[in-house]
Amino acid sequence: MADPLRIALAGLGTVGGGVIRLIESNGALIARRAGRPLEIVAVCARDRAKDRGVDLSRYAWEDDMTLLAERPDVDVVVELVGGADGPALALARRALGAGKGLVTANKAMIAHHGMELAELAEAEGAPLKFEAAVAGGVPVIKGLREGAAANVISRIYGILNGTCNYILSTMERTGRDFADVLAEAQALGYAEADPSFDIEGIDAAHKLAILAAIAFGSRLDFGAMHIAGISRIRAADIAQAAALGYVIRLIGIAETEGGETEGADGEAGGTGRLHQRVQPCLVPRAHPLAAVDGATNAVVAEGNFVGRLLFQGAGAGDGPTASAVVADLIDIARGDTGAPFSVPVAQLDTLDPADPGHRLGRAYMRLTVADRPGVLAEITAAMRDAGVSIESLIQQGRPEEGGEVLVAIVTHGGPERHVAAALKLLEGSASLAEPPLVMPLLG
Ligand SMILES: NC(=O)c1ccc[n+]([C@@H]2O[C@H](COP(=O)([O-])OP(=O)(O)OC[C@H]3O[C@@H](n4cnc5c(N)ncnc54)[C@H](OP(=O)(O)O)[C@@H]3O)[C@@H](O)[C@H]2O)c1
């Protein structure tokens, strides 16, 4: 058998520990499939004394993780530390700059610095792989780069954050409110002590930006992403959605303009612009994403020859994430050093961001209004004046605390800029107790 692929592991937490356990437990099978063994030679974490439930005595230890990149006995550095910048980025630059392969699960770093790192990898002829950065154990990057490589992808969308999905599906099952379920998720370890990256949609946006670059062969553009999280969703929205035949999910969606959109001139047709957004959406109960519960991730890709592909599985956890990391290592052991984003960086398209106002669709709007005469007339007049056609309007019978009532509106299909114009007309109205919540209907 060929020489082993020699690995340095930075980060021995949830994922790093999983990688060691996976290589130890499936080493013989992996060696057969890779054509050579995977051998961890050196490791690094902050605290050398911490008990990690794995035997580290056979590996060299580095106190400074960037030194892993300098070791002559290392072929590939695995970065499992996290953080968009700081030590993880320093290590990544140093490893690739030294011509070593880099495998990472770090979506924040790839979303912000993926182009720079891919250029460096290409210049050095070094492999850069990040399957675990998107949807944990689900091989969606591989699926796009390899399985669907022959297709024009028109749209890619999915559930990319397990914490949000756990919270939303628990709210749906139990009828409880957001803050209550979030606190429970934190107590159970499903949500971080500071959950803002997850619940405000940033983590999902990191993953979506990576997927979009691969799916559309375009330069990664995290700054163009429109992001809204789930913290404003109430039990009443979930109940209202259920009554209409929908569930609420945080959906990341990237599509080229011309699909469910108008062209920039207001006419139907493609423009080569890209929509990228993460926001809660109403998903019809019959849609495959509606059945995705708990911490599961799922991604749908629509290709012009393959049709609709659904990738689904565990989006986090030591085992699933380690599975994706080690799959990347097996690829490298086999000699796969292809362009990290499928196409060399210099050949990636630069797609301008599309104006979200051109997107066509139906929307759910929740307005919290004062319980007094004339309010509904004011709202419907704003919709009429902005060109929004109302499909249904439901005012909940009983006033909430403070004499406020919830009004839920579902619109007929139309450009989103009409809905935005209606909200503009209502802005500052004394009838509204808080800014309206708007969620598109997926479909
Ligand atoms: N957890 C998941 O399910 C999951 C899923 C997909 C992707 N990811 C990504 O995988 C990466 C790792 O996540 P994780 O959950 O395994 O994190 P984690 O459990 O917090 O582990 C991080 C590790 O990095 C080490 N570390 C932190 N700063 C360091 C420094 N300056 N020098 C040396 N070591 C340092 C820590 O050392 P100590 O142990 O000594 O503190 C720890 O071993 C992140 O990018 C994350 O986004 C995680």
Q: Kindly indicate whether the domain formed by 5-133 is annotated with CATH number 3.80.10.10.
A: no
- Which top CATH class is 140-316+349-356? alpha beta
- Beta bridge partners, 283, equal 247
Per residue, the 3-state secondary structure of 398-426, as one string, reads CCECCCEEEEEEEECCEEHHHHHHHHHHH
Give the whole-angstrom CA distance, residue 98 versus residue 38. Answer: 20
pLDDT at 265: 45
Q: Domain ranges in the chain? A: 5-133, 140-316+349-356, 359-440
With the most atoms of ligand 1 within 8 angstroms of its CB, the residue from 50, 80, 160 to mutate is 80
**Buried b vs exposed e over 294-308: b needs ≥16 C-beta within 10 Å?**
ebbbbbbbbbeeeee
- The band of 337, judged by pLDDT with boundaries at 50, 70 and 90, is confident
* 205-243 per-position pLDDT tens digit: 999 999 999 999 999 999 999 999 999 999 999 999 999
Single-letter code of the amino acid located at 205: A
Q: What's the 117 CA to ligand 1 centre distance in angstroms?
A: 20
Quick check: is 129 catalytic?
no
Give the whole-angstrom CA distance, residue 358 versus residue 145. Answer: 29
Q: What's the 17 CA to ligand 1 centre distance in angstroms?
A: 10
Token reading at 198: 């997850």
Give the whole-angstrom CA distance, residue 379 versus residue 366. Answer: 11
Q: Which atom of ligand 1 is nearest to the CA of 15?
A: 16
Question: Is the CB–ligand 1 distance for residue 44 below 6 Å?
Answer: yes
Q: Which atom of ligand 1 is nearest to the CA of 12?
A: 43
Architecture of domain 359-440: 2-Layer Sandwich (3.30)
Task: Assess whether the region 5-133 and the region 140-316+349-356 belong to the same CATH fold.
Answer: no
Question: Is the CB–ligand 1 distance for residue 319 below 6 Å?
Answer: no
Q: Which has the higher per-residue pLDDT, 372 or 366? A: 366
Percent with pLDDT over 70 in the chain? 95
Catalytic residue among 100, 107, 207, 424: 207
pLDDT at 113: 98
Question: Is the CB–ligand 1 distance for residue 321 below 6 Å?
Answer: yes
Token reading at 153: 């992808």
Question: What's the whole-model pTM score?
Answer: 0.95
**Buried b vs exposed e over 345-357: b needs ≥16 C-beta within 10 Å?**
beebeebeebbbe
Q: What's the 82 CA to ligand 1 centre distance in angstroms?
A: 5
Q: What's the 45 CA to ligand 1 centre distance in angstroms?
A: 9
Contacts 24+ apart (CB under 8 A), 323-326: 323/22, 323/137, 324/105, 324/131, 324/132, 324/136, 324/137, 324/138, 324/139, 325/15, 325/18, 325/19, 325/78, 325/80, 325/103, 325/105, 325/131, 325/132, 326/19, 326/22, 326/23, 326/26, 326/30, 326/38
Question: Is the CB–ligand 1 distance for residue 45 below 6 Å?
Answer: yes
pLDDT at 435: 93
